Amino acid sequence: MAILQKHGKNSCPDLASIKENPADNVGAAGAQKKWAESSQNWTRPVARVWTVVLLLGTCLLYCARVAMPICAVSMAERFSWSKRETGMVLGSFFWGYCFTQVLGGYVSDRVGGEKVMLLSAAAWGAMTAFTPILAHFCSQPIVSMTVSRFLMGLLQGVHYPSLASLCSQKVVESERGFLMSTVGSGSYLGTLVIGGIGSLMLDLYGWESVFYVSGLLSVLWSYCMWKYLLKGEGPIITLESLGSSGTQSKLSRRNWLRLFRQPAVCAVIITHLCTASTFFTLLSWLPTFFKDTFPDAKGWVFNVIPWFVAIPSSLFSGCLSDHLISQGFDTASVRKLMQFFSMGVSSVFTLFLCWTTTFPTAVAFVSATMGLTTFSHSGVSVNVQDLAPSCAGALFGVMNTCGAFTGVIMVYFSGYLIETTGSWASVFGLITVVNLLGLGTFLSFAEARRVDIDLAKGRYHNIHI
């Protein structure tokens, strides 16, 4: 377990040496000005407003994302889909989601995460609202729904990389944990909202209403963000701002290789990969675990209570990490402590599920596991912004892409274990082993100093990717 080290100021030796030798900084005054402008942070009142707005945006993101799984049974009956066809529609979202992670982070680092998030939200919100129209007026609903879900994945894939980029550019280090954990809790809130209100709307007004309401609310959120926070500024994205010259591309490849040679960068990628894999596995198989182990249990209990626990747990982890950093504790040690709770302590409760015999005890252990897992919002998810704020969006995109692919593989492998062993203990044991692998990597190699600074030449500049 990481040992918290407290010192007077959260200063980085590399940055300190740079301040002592201003002559060795960026040679061009224009480059200095550009860095000064890009490193302007939000004031605390502005950051609080953005936190609430981004929380609502993430909540609506999951409302739109989960609308199809909620309505899948009704749509399958309406359009006579088989189980295989329904699975094809639901699974098509994942493939689109994987392909835009890095691109979304790359563009966000160049033009600003808030602009990428705005455009994507308006697009996936409109796509959600038009889903019933596409289903009814297309001669092959299975084709139109599969394509629309793939496009939804493409559009929503940029959300978290753009969020990481925005946070690294606008939020001070001592407040990033609170923002990321608060915004991250929007995913649990959105799942609860669409699961409760969406199910009610489905029964009263039909499956179309779920898409109409969640889609139109998302478009309204995009408009309000553009109108009142971005002040209606435009144009949003220009080719010039993307900087797509040949020289820049060559520099990009060199800097990517230099980044990936850093042990701390490899550590956050591996740790996030392990965290995402175990989370996806739990999310996918826990309902089946409860149905198999406790056939008479009420579904709403184990589908709702863990998420109610996850929301305050996520908020608490953000407040705790920011408080420790503001008190002078070493940032890297705080990130490791949060990840220890997320992957280490949560694994203990996961193992307890192997010997659980009563339904209330199982719900308690699952709630503790899911609640502690949210501590990663203040651990590895924020650490990427500590390491490379100038390219945090693109780097987070790489992390999320790896996590998504390995998550699907682990979900399939867990199903194989259940079929061959007939025991849930094998799955929970696998989750524990993967968690401990990621935790050991993070505790051994994680740092909080910037690695996107070229110190070899005595220069202080950002890596542009």
Q: Provide CB contacts within 8 A for 211, sequence distance 6+.
A: 67, 71, 128, 129, 131, 132
CATH 1.20.1250.20 residue ranges of the chain are 43-234, 253-456
pLDDT tens per residue across span 377-435: 999 999 999 998 888 888 999 998 998 888 878 888 888 888 888 889 999 999 999 99
Chain centroid to CA 315: 15
Q: Which fold has domain 253-456?
A: Growth Hormone; Chain: A; (1.20.1250)
Kindly state the average pLDDT of the residues 344-367.
94
Indicate the pLDDT class of residue 31, thresholds 50, 70 and 90: very low
Give the least confident one: 186-190, 210-214, 288-292, 396-400.
288-292
- Check pLDDT > 90 for residue 26: no
Give the least confident one: 95-99, 153-157, 234-238.
234-238
Q: Provide CB contacts within 8 A for 144, sequence distance 6+.
A: 134, 135, 138
With 0-12 / 13-18 / 19 or more C-beta atoms within 10 angstroms meaning exposed / middle / buried, residue 339 is buried
- Check pLDDT > 80 for residue 338: yes
Query: What is the Cα–Cα distance from 456 to 461, expressed in whole angstroms?
Result: 12
Residue 329, φ and ψ in degrees, nearest 5: -75, 150
CATH superfamily name and code, 43-234? MFS general substrate transporter like domains (1.20.1250.20)
Indicate the pLDDT class of residue 354, thresholds 50, 70 and 90: very high
Q: What is the pTM for the complete model shown?
A: 0.78
Query: What is the Cα–Cα distance from 187 to 119, expressed in whole angstroms?
Result: 20
Structure tokens at 295: 């056939």
The per-residue pLDDT for 61 is: 96
The per-residue pLDDT for 182 is: 93
